[in-house]
Amino acid sequence: MADITISIVSNNNRELLLGCLDSIYGTAEGLDVEVIVIDNVSSDGSVGAIGERFPQVRFILNEKKEGFSANHNKALRVARADFMFVLNDDTVLHPGSLKAMRDFLHDNPQAGAVGCMLLNPDGTPQRTGMRRPTLFAAAMISVGLHRLFPNNPVTAGYFNIKPDYAGPEEVESINAAAIMVKREVLEKAGYLDEGFFLFCEDVDWCIRMREAGFKLYFLPSAKITHYRGASTGGRRMVVIYHKSLFRFYRKHYAVKNNLLVNAVAYMAILLRFLAYWLYGGVRRK
């Protein structure tokens, strides 16, 4: 049995994926690592290049493009390890990070999942260990007020970005660009919700983990550089994002609020959708 199963979804990201795999095998530190790459219908020669350079990688080849949750669930269902790491292909692991995350989950029975310190290429921190968003925080983030007022206590507390950390911290949500979970999480909280094609699936998963009795942690000593790009997703991405936002609200908030609050929330989502649709796309970061 492997020590860790790493699930990576890739679509036409050959060079980034090769760099990611280099960092995994270069920092495994004696761990038996099973890497499963779900190729989401790439046309850039990714499969051939990876198979030649890393013959130990297991492939799942899609015949059609599928969403984040559906793709990772394919790997999670066939994983051989008791610790499973959902990882983006545009990442580079720092030495010691993989083992630190595995050891933390192994040594803390109450922990169901752990995230790491995600870093921009310039070394500045990204949003990693977060709180569950309140409706007010979600509304501010949705219309971009967190960028105009970055130090406001509502969204600053949600993103949980600080200049330094004393050690591991319990959090309510972990960025799915890099989240390691125990097998028992899948048994008790379930897999990623495939109703989310993209966006919101990580927060939903974390909510269900906590409802199943698990604690989630942020481990700042484990570091991963995340080369997230900024690109215009176009109107298709507008549709995908707002479908996920609508599903997330309906799943986790609608049953707790009255008809008036729900009506206002759905109208806000619709107006946001129309605004971005007219703008022509969403800016992904």
For the chain, what are the domain ranges? Answer: 4-227, 234-284
CB of 9 closer than 8 Å to CB of 65: no
Give residue 282's pLDDT. Answer: 47
- Right CATH for 4-227 from 3.30.9.10, 3.90.550.10, 3.90.79.10, 3.40.50.720: 3.90.550.10
Q: Whose structure tokens read 């094609």?
A: 197
Give residue 77's pLDDT. Answer: 98
| 13-36 confidence digits (pLDDT tens) | 999 999 999 999 999 999 999 999
State the alpha helices, DSSP H only, in the chain. 14-26, 46-53, 68-78, 97-107, 135-142, 145-148, 153-159, 183-188, 201-211, 234-252, 259-279
Give residue 230's pLDDT. Answer: 43
What's the CA gap between 218 and 168, in Å, rounded? 6
| 185-228 confidence digits (pLDDT tens) | 999 999 999 999 999 999 999 999 999 999 999 999 999 999 97
Residue 184 CA to its chain's centroid (Å): 19
Give residue 284's pLDDT. Answer: 44
The segments of the chain whose pLDDT lies below 50 read 230-232, 282-285
CB of 39 closer than 8 Å to CB of 47: yes
What's the CA gap between 120 and 45, in Å, rounded? 27
Q: Whose structure tokens read 């605004």?
A: 275
What's the CA gap between 73 and 190, in Å, rounded? 10
